[in-house]
Amino acid sequence: MILTKAVLKFLCVLSVCAIFAGCAARKEHSLFNAPSDIVTDTIKQVYVVNDQGISDAYYKIKVNDQLAIRNVQNKEFGASATLSGNTTSNAQNTTSGNINNVLSYPVDIDGKVNLPAIGKVEVLGLSRREAAIKIQDLYAKQLLRDPIIELSVVNLKVTLLGEFGRQGNFLLERENTTLIDIIGEAGGINKTADPKTLKIIRGDRSHPEIIYVNLNDINSLASKKLILQNNDIIVLQQTKSSALSEKLSSINNVVQPFLVVVNLAVLIFTLTR
């Protein structure tokens, strides 16, 4: 009897501990915690911490960018020996699956890209569209008839972590790629995701801008903050109930073998009385 009471007391204490541990379960499993994360429990639309203002929606080409360039009027452009470039290690196959083994050309320290037949072209500080038009005009004057140049910067990416259909790096292949565009490419969000906890970590890593988004509120989609920028980190946490369930499952895996031993001891004690 004494043993049985001790076991019951132990189980009660264990249950209380599990409840308190479960309260902190989501905090333990979430990534890149910040003091401002408390707002994700009550946020209505979009909340910004360390607001750095509205970034230029059109990306400006920088030194060391890798430019993939092709003439959509000519299938041979970018593939022939006379127009060969460097196969960039940055143009890896991503989950979107659209860019792999792309011929790309680096922007040198002088802000110029060295292209076949026309030589060096200054592109530093230009948007993708501006650079494409400039290169198109040069090829039209010197080499090609009525070219239509398509240009992309193949090293631009965002990173998705947490409760998405797929995680990892996703290339920003188009101008003005939005949060919803990327979530769509990732296969949506998981059933265990908490739509109120999405956050985008942007800019200076020592003092980042943090953008909290409530996906439950359709009005949040109107925010210009949701136009993605290079190297954005997008994190989505699981619901509190899912985190608690996962925590209790983990505790159960540890406690279950012990309970088997206790039950066996109680059975032996009962039989030998």
Residue boundaries of the structural domains of the chain = 30-56+156-240, 66-153
One CATH from 3.30.565.10, 3.40.50.970, 2.30.30.100, 3.30.1950.10 for 66-153:
3.30.1950.10
β-bridge mates for residue 130, sequence order: none
Please return the burial class of 45, using the count of CB atoms within 10 Å of its CB with bins 0-12, 13-18 and 19+: middle
Q: Tell me what percent of the residues of the chain surpass a pLDDT of 90.
A: 48
Residue (of 209, 205, 213) closest to 189 by Cα position? 213
Q: Of residues 241 and 67, which shows the higher confidence score?
A: 67
Between CA 270 and CA 9 the distance in angstroms is 18
φ, ψ (nearest 5 deg) of residue 34: -135, 150
Q: Does the domain formed by 30-56+156-240 have CATH 1.10.490.10?
A: no
Between CA 94 and CA 181 the distance in angstroms is 15
Name the 3-class secondary structure at 212.
strand
In the predicted model, is pLDDT for residue 116 greater than 70? Answer: yes
β-bridge mates for residue 213, sequence order: 46, 198
Strands laid side by side in the 209-213 sheet:
46-49, 209-213, 198-202, 233-236, 157-162, 168-171
Using pLDDT thresholds of 50, 70 and 90, give the confidence band for residue 103: confident
Out of 85-94, 151-160, 195-204, pick the least confident: 85-94
β-bridge mates for residue 108, sequence order: none
Phi/psi region, residue 67 (left: phi>0; alpha: psi -120 to 50; beta: rest), is beta
In the predicted model, is pLDDT for residue 102 greater than 70? Answer: no
CA distances from 109 to 75, 217, 254 (A): 30, 44, 57
Phi/psi region, residue 187 (left: phi>0; alpha: psi -120 to 50; beta: rest), is left
Using pLDDT thresholds of 50, 70 and 90, give the confidence band for residue 79: very low
Q: Which residues of 3-37 are buried (b: 16+ CB within 10 A; e: fewer)?
A: eeeebeeeeeeeeeebeeebeebbeeebeeebeeb
For residue 254, the model assigns a pLDDT of 66
Residue (of 158, 197, 193) closest to 177 by Cα position? 158
Convert the pLDDT of each residue in 145-178 to its tens digit. Answer: 888 999 999 999 999 999 999 999 999 988 889 9
Q: Of residues 264 and 154, which shows the higher confidence score?
A: 154
Q: Which pTM was predicted?
A: 0.69
Mean of pLDDT over the chain? 79
Residue (of 67, 70, 72, 69) closest to 90 by Cα position? 67
